[in-house]
Chains A and B, each alone.
Chain A
C-alpha cells in the first residue's frame, strides 16, 4: 500500500515538472506569461475543463467513459438559465442545476448497469438525446441576460483578485479526492476498474457504485455549466460540444488509464491546468492557429508517453 502511494506522488510530480518546463519556455518567449494576472487566467480558464475532467475521471476509473458530458452541460445551462431569468433565487437555481447534472449522470449509470449497454455506446446515445433536449427546451435560441447577482456569485472575484471559479474547481477537487481516497466508495471505484468480476464476487454492490460514479460525472458537468453560464452571461444550447474530448485529454495527461483502475483526481486536475497553460502560452506567444492544433496534439501524446516510460522505469 505504501509503495503504491509513493508511486502516485512520484507520477504527479512528473506532470508538475512538465508544467514547470512549459512555464519557463513560454516566459522566456514572453515575460507577460508569468505575470500574476496571467497565472490566474490560466487557472480560471482550466476551471470548466477541469471540473468536467475530474468528473469523467470517475467514469474512466471504473473502466467506463462518459461522452455525454458536453450535452449534460448544455441541459444544465439552459434549464438554470431559464429559471434565473424568470427570477428564481440564484442559490436555489444552482442546487437545481447540480441535481439535474447528477440525475442525468445517474441515468447514464442505469443504462450501463441495468440495461448492460457498454458505456461508450450508452453515453454516445445520451450525448445526442441530451443535446436534443437542450435544443427543445429553448427552441434552439440562447437564454439571454443572466442576472448580475448570479454572475457575481459564481464568477465574481474574491477580494477583487481571485475568480470564484478557481475556488469551485479546487473545492470540487478536494471533495472528490477525499471521496476517492478516503471512502469505501473510492476503493470500490478503483477495484471495479481493476477487476469488475472479482469486485462483484467479493460482495461489493458494483451496480450501485457505478451508478454513483456516473452521477458524480454529471455533477462535474453541472458545475462546469454553472461556471460557463456565469462567465458568459448567456446560455446557449450549443454549448459544450467537444468538451468530452478535452476532458478525456486532461485525464489522460494526468495519468488516468483509459483501461480503468488507475488514475487520480490530482493528476486530472494538473492535466487540466497543463492543457490550459499550453493554450494560453500558444496565444501569448502568438503561435499561428494551424500550428496550435499540431502543438496541442503533440503535447498530449508526449505527456502520456513520458508517463508510460516513467511508470516502466519505476517497475524496474
Chain B
C-alpha cells in the first residue's frame, strides 16, 4: 500500500505498524520522536499495535528543546 511519510509517497507492506515504520525509515533516537498520522498525534503506547492504512499521512517530529 502507499502512504505519505514526511510528505513523500512510500510503498510499504499492508498494515505496517508505527514501530515497524520507524525501523524501516531508520529513524534515529526514536525515543525523542513524536509521530502524527493524518495530523493526529499517536501515543507511544500504540506504536506497536496501530496499523497504518492506505493513504495515511505520517510525520516524524523530533523533540526540540534545551535550556540556558
Instruction: Answer whether A and B are interacting partners.
Output: no
